[in-house]
Amino acid sequence: MHTEAIDPPGLAWRRVSPRYVTVRLVGWALANLAAVVVLSLPLVLVLNGAWEWPPLWLAAAVPAAAFVLALWRLVLIPRQVRSIGYAEREDDLLIRRGIFFQRVLVVPYGRMQYVDIGAGPVERSLGLCTLKLHTASAGTSAEIPGLPAGEGARLREQLSARGEARLAGL
Amino acid sequence: MTAAGDSWRRVHPASPFVRGWVALAAMFFFFGRDAFERLLQGGPVIDERLAGRAPWLLLGGGTVLLLTVLGFVLSWYFTRYQVADGYVRVNTGFLFKQQRQARLDRVQAIDVVQPLLARIFGLAELRFEVADAGQSAVHLAYLRVDEARQLRATILARASGAVSGTPATAPGLAPAQQAAVAEEAPEHAVLTVPPSRLAGSLVLSEQSVVIVLGAVASVLLSAVTENRSFYFYLIPAGLGLAAAYWNSFNKGYNFTAAISPDGIRLRYGLLDTQAQTLPPGRIQAVRVSQPPLWRVFGWYRMQVNMAGYGTAGSNGEGSARTTLLPVGTLAEVFAMLSLVLPDPGTPDPARVFIAGLNGLAPAGGPGRSAAPAAPDDGGFVTTPRRARLLAPLGWRRNGFTATDTALLIRSGRWWRHLVLVPHQRTQSIALQQGPLARRFRVADLVLHTTAGPIAPRLIQAGLDEGRALLDAQAARARTARKRQTSEHWLDPADHLVHAPKEGPQHG
């Protein structure tokens, strides 16, 4: 299926660091390998003869399906990371993400209440950070993951300065 | 002590007893029940086995009572409040002290609440909301009713900038002077909801449909299975629904809306009464909705998102507070809309709003070529015809239009909704699209506002229209924010802001 980007044309998107793929891979490995291992338990038990009930084909099919799904997610990760982008405009910040489920978010600088920078252990070891914007609305889940630390600090300063200049009430 | 001025003041001495009456009642209940039961059985007041220890028991009970009352008195003594220098401050607690202050010009809403017991004693609670969706910023329980009203007038007068209007720069006026100015702003009644219509609206509401369906289903099940136990399931369900009906009736009874320079005043309640004041420009989003059965009488319901109220609480109080009109006719909806949005930003508001409430795009589909939509549809841009399979009923309803001051989003063929978001209240905007929507080249546009019952979402707009709207809406929100400069809505310097603005600016 042809994927047409939904973002407004004529924007120069800045992409996040390709190293962020590693962060996603670690997360993927932890989540999916654990799931596959847990789902394989019945198979092992059936093979040992400890369990009677799940027929062999079912006990094998479930972890196999989970494994295929996990592989599919693994293949998608680099594309998903490439699809994350942000663009600073005169008065607002645009954040986009997603391939199948796309989303473009516009956050006006004057609406920002505060800016967060966080970094998990994997991100930190790679010199990356995640920037979060908060507005008065809980629905604004504006997050730019996988920024190089320097770029994150620059962006935070930039956003704070611009937010102050354009600050509006609620 | 009569004027709500700059000095530190205390709440009414009876207030802890009114607040803690449940605790007192429970104590009397536990100590009194045994004695009372024995009296009824003709025995002595005190059990013979305990008679010897009676003084000790009385002493123990008395001590507990005394400690409770002492706690009440201390909590009263250490609760003090002050309105001065553009802040309202409240100090509470004697072991764990808490000092709280809130900026007056940040006020989002002020409520005067009277639960039944407080009403009997002529007391009222004052709630001062700022933009923090948690609990009320300032919570004064209880004051005498006239005192609470006067305090509300004082706070609103200072928050609006009306008081400091004479020499423009004066947080430090003499207290007497300021208190003298703080008259309650004159108000002008707009509408009252008659109890008969409220009852009718409840009978025809969604929950009635559920009741009828549930009753039919259980009767059918009983008949088919010849099992009587299904009737018993109806009893708790009936009790719960009766409570829900009673709650809605109690909260919506005698609903009165009025307008004053301080904002919109709402009053309602049968046993517990509540008076809300919503200052101008504090409303984040409005929704007008109509359940299918209400269409017979042409009734509508209006709800608002306010920054201080947060999402509807579990006790139904939150949902009452975010109700702008429990049930009203079209004319009343227009009256309320004119209060919420004084400048509709369109030359023909009636046509646009009626199209938003009841309109339907022509069945042929407006298509992208016929950009100026049919004249009877109020300029609403609806889901393109190619996506009609995604919403076979709603595609002619789901649409948007933008006036100079607000974005209007309508949806729902049977449950009709019209959501208004003033441009300067938009927080952030997102355009979203899933794989299915992509096949039909449509996308959803989500506007983020503060927490509340309304989550504005434009469903299945054409991709090009959605993209254009995302850009245009960001631009409109930007210009609208630039116009809004001051939080003091009555400041003389601020009158330009409320005057009509420059011409139309369509993206």
Q: How confident is the model at residue B500 (pLDDT cuts 50, 70, 90)?
A: very low
From CA B202, how far away is CA B249, in angstroms rounded? 8
All residues of chain A having their beta carbon less than 8 Å from the beta carbon of residue B438 are: 1, 3-4, 102
pLDDT of residue B173: 40
CA distance B287 to B341: 12
Under 8 Å CB-to-CB from B60, ≥6 apart: which residues? Answer: none
Long-range own/partner contacts, residues B254-257 (CB < 8 A, 24 or more apart): B254/B192, B254/B193, B254/B195, B255/B192, B255/B193, B255/B198, B255/B325, B255/B326, B256/B189, B256/B191, B256/B192, B256/B193, B257/B189, B257/B190, B257/B191, B257/B192, B257/B324, B257/B325, B257/B335, B257/B336, B257/B339
Task: Flag whether pLDDT at B234 surpasses 70.
Answer: yes
- Interface residues from chain A to B (CB-CB < 8 Å): 1, 3-4, 6-9, 91-92, 100-108, 110-111, 135-140, 142, 166, 168-170
DSSP secondary structure letter of residue B165:
G
Protein fold of A85-168: PH-domain like (2.30.29)
Domain locations in chain A?
Answer: 20-81, 85-168
Instruction: Decide: helix, strand or coil at residue A156.
Output: helix
State the Cα–Cα distance between residues B160 and B486, nearest whole angstrom: 10
pLDDT digits (tens, 9 = 90+) for B94-110: 888 888 888 888 888 88
CB-CB neighbors (< 8 A) of B481 in chain A: 108, 110, 166, 168
Would an 8 Å CB–CB cutoff place B33 in contact with chain A?
no
Are B410 and B400 a contacting pair, CB within 8 Å? yes
Amino acid code (one letter) for B168: A
Q: Per-residue pLDDT tens for B140-174?
A: 888 999 989 988 988 888 887 766 543 333 344 44
Residue B400 near residue B342, CB atoms below 8 Å:
no
Q: Which two tokens stand for residue A162?
A: 């611009």
Residue B134 above 80 pLDDT?
Answer: no
What pTM, to 2 d.p., does this model score? Answer: 0.82
Count Cβ atoms within 10 A of the Cβ of residue B326 and give its class: 0-12 exposed, 13-18 middle, 19 or more buried. Answer: buried
Percentage above 90 pLDDT, chain B: 24
Q: A6-15, A101-110, B468-477, B479-488: which range is least confident on average?
A: B479-488
Q: How far apart are CA B15 and CA B21, in angstroms?
A: 10
ipTM, two decimals:
0.86
pLDDT averaged over chain B? Answer: 80
Q: Give the 3-state secondary structure percentages of chain B, helix then strand then coil, rounded to 5.
A: 45, 25, 35
Residues A59-97 have pLDDT tens digits of 889 889 999 999 999 999 999 999 999 999 888 899 999
Lowest mean pLDDT among A21-25, B426-430, B501-505: B501-505
Nearest in space to B90 (alpha carbons), one of B76, B75, B103, B79: B79
Average pLDDT, integer, range B357-383 = 68
Asked if pLDDT for residue A159 goes beyond 60, the answer is: yes
Q: Count other C-beta atoms under 10 Å from residue A120's C-beta.
A: 15
Residue A103: CB atoms within 10 Å: 20
Element at B30 (helix H, strand E): helix B21-40
| Chain B residues with CB-CB distance to A108 below 8 A | 426-428, 474, 477-478, 481
CA atoms within 13 A on the CB side of B399: 31
Q: What is the pLDDT at residue B368? A: 43
Q: What is the rounded distance in angstroms from the CA atom of residue B39 to the CA atom of residue B53?
A: 19
The closest CB to that of A91, out of B441, B463, B478, belongs to B478
CB under 8 Å to B336, separation ≥6 — which residues?
B190, B191, B257, B302, B324, B325, B328
Query: Does the pLDDT at position B113 exceed 80?
Result: yes
- Provide the CA B188 distance to its chain's centre, in angstroms: 21
What is the predicted pLDDT for the residue at B493? Answer: 45
* Residue A154 confidence class, pLDDT cut points 50, 70, 90: very high
pLDDT tier for residue B505 given thresholds of 50, 70 and 90: very low
For testing the chain A interface, which of B103, B283, B424, B427 should be mutated: the one with the most A CBs within 10 Å?
A: B427
- Please tell me whether the peptide bond between B300 and the residue prior to it is cis, using omega within 30 degrees of 0: no
B67: Cβ–Cβ under 8 A, 6 or more apart, which residues?
Answer: none
Q: Are B470 and A8 inside 8 Å of each other by CB?
A: yes
The answer to whether residue B441 scores a pLDDT higher than 80 is yes
Geometric angle at alpha carbon B109, from B123 and B134, rounded to 5°:
90
Q: Is the pLDDT of residue B55 over 50?
A: yes
**Residue B343: pLDDT band by 50, 70, 90 thresholds?**
confident
What band does B61 get if pLDDT is binned at 50, 70 and 90? confident
